[in-house]
Amino acid sequence: MTLLIIGITTLISILCLGSPRLSDQLKFNAYAIRHEGQGYRFLSYALVHADWIHLLVNMFVLYSFGRITESLFFGIFGTKTFIYYPMLYLGGIAFSTLYDYGKYKNAPYYNAVGASGAVSGVLFSSIILYPEGKIGFLFIPIELPAPLFGLLYLVYSAYMARRSSDNIGHSAHFWGALFGITLTVLLEPHLAVEFVRRVL
C-alpha cells in the first residue's frame, strides 16, 4: 500500500508541477472549502508538492517509515491493515489541516500543498509501534532514539507553527503526528502501555 500511495502521489505531483491550473484546483485552500463547497481539498492537496525537493523528501520519508508501519500493522491487525493503514494515511491528510482550516477559512489567498501531515502520522505511528528504532537526518551522520526524535520534532513543530516565520506547514506536521499517535493507540490501546514499558 505504501508503494501504491507513493506511485499515485508522485504521478499527480509531477502532473501538477507542469500544470499550475491543475495544482490550483487541488491545493488546500480553506476559503474555497468554506465558501465554495470544495471539500475535496481536505484530501487532494496531499497529491500536490511545491517542487521536486518537496516531493522527493516526503516520498523518501514515507518509503522509509511507511513500509515499517505497514509491516507492523499486518503483524498486529492482520487483514484489517487494508482498512487501518489507509485510515492512518488519509486521516492524517485531513486531520492535519483542521487547525489551518479554522484559522484561514476567510483568507482566500492562503494555500498549502504536500503530504507532510500524513507522512508525519505514519512516522509517529512507527515510533509507537517500534520505539527501539533510531532516526537519522538526511546527509547528517546522527541517529537519535525514535521517541527522543519524536519529542523534539513535536516541540520544534509547535514552536515554528507559533512563529509562522517561513512557508512550511509546521502545524500540519504537528497535528499529523498527533493523529498518527492517537489513531494507533485507539486501534490497539495496549500499545500505549507497551510503548512506555519498552522506552523505560
- CA angle at 166 for the pair 160 and 169, rounded to the nearest 5°: 65
Cα–Cα dist 101/153, whole Å = 22
CATH assignment at residue 164: 1.20.1540.10
Full domain range(s) for residue 33: 2-199
For residue range 65-86, list pLDDT tens digits in order: 899 999 999 999 999 999 999 9
How many domains, in total, are found in the chain? 1
pLDDT at 182 over 80: yes
What pLDDT is stored for residue 193 in this prediction? 84
C-alpha cell, 5: 500511495
pLDDT at 143 over 90: no
| Enclosing H/E stretch for 193 | helix 190-199
Phi, psi dihedral angles at 52 (to 5 degrees): -65, -40
- Global pTM reads 0.86
Summary mean pLDDT of the chain: 87
Cα–Cα dist 3/9, whole Å = 10
Q: Please, is 115 exposed, middle or buried when counting C-beta atoms within 10 Å of its C-beta (0-12, 13-18, 19+)?
A: buried
pLDDT at 164 over 80: no
